[in-house]
Each structure stands twice: as structure tokens, then as C-alpha cells.
Amino acid sequence: MVASTGGVSLEEPAVSPDGQKIAYSRLISGVRQVCLANIDGTSEEVMTTSGSAHANHDPAWWPDGSKLIICRTNAYGAGDAIITVNVNNIDDIIYRKTELQGLGYASYFDAVYLTYFASNGNKMRIYKVNNENSDNVTDLGSIEADPAGNYDFYTPRVSPDGTKIAFASTVSSESLPLREIMVMNSDGTGVRRLTSRTAGHYDNYRPSWSPDGAWVAFYSNLQGDVTGETYDIYKVHINGTGETNVTNNSFPDINPNWD
């Protein structure tokens, strides 16, 4: 686990396939950059060098560990870009998307799935990057949220086998319309809830799949924090049972990454 130090928040950790390195994002001189360090936190390298017009975030490893895939967000509304960063710190923009905002991804053995979600939560779009050719980006199509407002899409993540998508969703029917963790088939059918709260203040966010696809980790303020400063990591089985509080600290534990 990557710990925040010196008041600097280290976010979106991603462990390398060999378990020796960890990538994450943090603010450097007011700009979010992606960094790389040994698994014990030593020998940090800054992997991106963009200026104040961009934010770099959500690193994901190429399955062979040779490079990182990173989201670069343009602060001035010109859309997001998917970039690759090699060990020599060369940025290579491989795809741009201007219609949607927000990018999350998960790296697996045969492909890297990238899931955009609209800033208002009403749409997601899924892409697949071919391992053998970083220029080959396949658009797998978009999925619309429920027009009746029963669910929307935030921080969607594709399952390891590519058949399901976990996401955070607001639940308008509840007295506190914050977010629950939900799952559906990759074609948008079979939407169901994995978490369910009928009372109290809560906000469940940013699901992350276990390698075998049986569990989903997420962060939440279910422990009673009503102002949002203290979040902890939870996990729940894909059948909606076995919800477990993994961490319980006085400081925020966010953005789980199950490697």
C-alpha cells in the first residue's frame, strides 16, 4: 500500500506485474504527475513532465511491465488523451477523446481495457488497446445510463475476463443519494447492486477487481464519518455477500488497486 507522506497525497497506485515497482500519481509544484518507485517506496522517478495545462493520472501497467499507460487530462476542456510512457520517460500519445471526461483503466494479461465515463455520469464508453500495437485502439461501444435515473456511471472498471463492469452509481431513490457499487454485464444488461445502505451517510466509490474476478474492492466512509475526511477500503463478493472492512484508520484510505 502506498502511504501519503509529508502532507502529499499519493493516489491511484498500480503495482508492476513482477511486484517490484509501484506507479502512482501525486501533485508536484501544483501539477498532477505520474511517478514510479520501488515497491518499498525508494528511488522515486517522475515519469511525466507536462505543465499546468494537463493532469496525469490513473497509471496502468502494460502486461509485460515494459511501459505504463496513463490518462492525460487537458485542464482547458480540450479532452483527454491516452499516453504510454516507456522506461526512458518518452511520452507517446496513442489516442485522444474529446467527447467524454474521466478515464479509468485496468490492465490484464491479454489486453488493456479503458473506460471513459461522462462527467454527468450518463454514459460510459469502453476501449481495448492491443498489446502488440499501441496504435491499435478498438472502440467497443458506449453504454447509456438508465433514462429513468435509477443508476448512472462513475469510475467503471472492466472485470479481468472482460465480461462484467463494476461501477459506482448514485441511487436517487434513497434519502441520501450518494454512491453504491454496482455491477453489470459488459453489454450493459443485468445491472445489480453489490452494496446497499438504507440509512446513514455513505459514499462508495472506485471499484477495483480481484485478479480472479470474484471480489470487488472499493473505498467508502461507512464507518460513520459524515464529512468525508476518513475513507476506508472495503471488499465485497461479486454475488453481493461478504462485505468486509479491510482498513480502519484516522486518515483517508482511497483508490484501492488489487494486484
Q: How far apart are CA 103 and CA 118, in angstroms?
A: 9
Domain boundaries, the chain: 1-144, 145-259
Q: Which among 139, 132, 91, 150 has a CA at the least distance from the CA of 115?
A: 139
- Regarding predicted confidence, which is higher, 116 or 219? 219
**CATH superfamily assigned to domain 145-259:** TolB, C-terminal domain (2.120.10.30)
Query: Please, are residues 123 and 117 in contact by the beta-carbon 8 Å criterion?
Result: yes
Q: How far apart are CA 240 and CA 243, in angstroms?
A: 8
Q: How far apart are CA 56 and CA 237, in angstroms?
A: 31
83 — phi, psi (to 5°)? -125, 155
Give the contacts of 80 (CB within 8 A, at least 6 positions apart).
71, 72, 73, 74, 96, 97, 98, 100, 101, 102, 103, 116
pLDDT value at residue 199: 54
At the second CATH level, the architecture of 1-144 is: 7 Propeller (2.130)
- Regarding predicted confidence, which is higher, 50 or 4? 50
Query: pLDDT digit string (tens) for 113-131?
Result: 777 776 666 777 787 776 5
Arithmetic mean of pLDDT, 150-159: 82
pLDDT at 76 over 60: no
Q: Which among 140, 172, 148, 165 has a CA at the least distance from the CA of 216?
A: 165
pLDDT tier for residue 1 given thresholds of 50, 70 and 90: very low
Question: DSSP states of 203-226 as a string?
Answer: --EEEEE-TTSSEEEEEE-TTS-S
pLDDT value at residue 155: 83
DSSP state of 75: T
pLDDT value at residue 240: 93
Query: pLDDT digit string (tens) for 95-112?
Result: 665 555 556 666 665 667
pLDDT at 242 over 80: yes
Query: pLDDT digit string (tens) for 166-191?
Result: 998 887 665 555 788 999 998 888 99
pLDDT tier for residue 241 given thresholds of 50, 70 and 90: very high
Arithmetic mean of pLDDT, 62-76: 76
